[in-house]
A and B are shown apart, each in its own frame.
Chain A
């Protein structure tokens, strides 16, 4: 890294901009926890006083707990399935150079660049035409479609930087294909698998756009929140619930991103390696 170079000289204006940028990025999200501890029912400054009443309220609501349980069940199933399908896809993509491979990867990434509403209504039409009633299963199916690109994108770099000769050595030493995968390949891609599980769980847990079209009588947490938004007197309890969800997502994603980078070259190291030999 050419740290002392005159091109990379510290730039005060840019540093200030970066700090303002980060503040603005986080400020709206932090308004939710701030007002969730406020005694007043309306969200305004000055704050009225500290209370945990809205959090205590949540525990006595069966519909909140039911929605939480639904979200967790869907999230766990979706993250396991998405990661399994992502593993198969990432392995197949890197294993052999198939013709039309880029087209297949692009196809898998399609849900990233198509508005969610279009997938939502398309799946709704399909389910209703073939007579599948809307339920948590249809919600999970929709989540799986949009989680798959993230699973593939998280797992693919793991397989791409992979030394194939290790697998060959294992095969030469007499392990069959399954044991080679389990004892050699899997441990090496494990951080990617954990990251993919956590990320896809978070996406499913927070998903609203598609869920709105595909959910039946069983509400997930975002659907429950949406249904409460039209009642102003429910605002504080929605704020408390939102705060808990935000905290859970922040922790899950931070862990996922941190684990996901283990073993992958850090930007600085990659840079050093790039510049090193020259």
Chain B
């Protein structure tokens, strides 16, 4: 363990501490003013742009998470309850696209949704529309569609695992006692699969809040997220301390929301037991 632990300390803990430290510095020309100050955090708190981007990121991620879980639940349910042969093949098929390059999957959506993309160009040349449909590209809608597609595997796997674990005799007992399919689902299947639903929430919500590629390629000005702002601080704007402070604020938000999810799943687990 010790080499792995050592690597984790150097690769995870130390960079994080460096990030925390530099967030209390300020930019000074091309260098840093190393006096410790809350100046960056005060700016994030007072200037509306930061709060607006942060809340938009959390909102987009929230919509993506809910949409992905709702769309993936029937799929996971189907494989858990109705597929009896080649289950492994189905699981591999459902998760395979997730392993291909993230950048390429997002690029694929740009090819499909873009002004010159598959949908618009085809509809134009068929004469069905007069001008490109603008809502398809450079909008929060495009970001939401793309992210929901890109993170589907993160919902399917935990949902499948929790559904697969459900003791089938409970359902049979409910059926014998006269519960119909709907009541069986809402009184047994859904409550028992809640741990899977919660971990899917966890696994999708957290990484999507920090995404900057999807908004950069498909978001346009109204679809920019906090990740784009952080990336700018380390690029064109060249204000590393500010970028560090934004990263810390994002991490704190994620941690806070994560703790709420965790507390919820504890409560649910206790109720189930």
Contacts and interface: CB of A to CB of B under 8 A. Distances in A.
A29 B118 contact: no
A35 B7 contact: no
Interface in A101-133: 104, 107-108, 110-119, 121-126, 129
Interface in A45-91: 45-46, 85-86, 88-89
B93 A249 contact: no
B198 interface: no
Given A113-B202, A118-B247, A229-B217, A8 B97 contact: no
Contacts of B15: 119, 122-123, 125-126
Interface in B203-228: 203, 206-207, 209-213, 217, 227
Interface residues of B, number: 82
A17 interface: yes
Interface stretch (A19-27, A159-167, A185-193): A19-27
B1 A89 contact: yes
A5 B231 CA distance: 55
Given A14-B77, A85-B3, A85-B7, A246 B100 contact: yes
Given A10-B82, A119-B15, A26 B97 contact: yes
B111 A225 contact: no
Interface of A: 1-3, 5-8, 10-11, 14-15, 17-18, 21-22, 24-26, 28-29, 31-32, 35, 42-46, 85-86, 88-89, 92-93, 98, 104, 107-108, 110-119, 121-126, 129, 141, 144-145, 148, 199, 202-203, 205-206, 208-209, 212-213, 222, 225-226, 229, 232, 238-239, 242, 245-246, 249-250, 253-254, 257-258, 261, 266-268
25 contacts: A5-B172, A6-B175, A7-B168, A7-B172, A18-B74, A22-B94, A28-B149, A29-B104, A31-B111, A31-B112, A44-B117, A85-B3, A85-B7, A88-B4, A114-B254, A117-B231, A118-B247, A125-B18, A125-B240, A129-B18, A148-B4, A242-B108, A245-B100, A245-B104, A249-B99
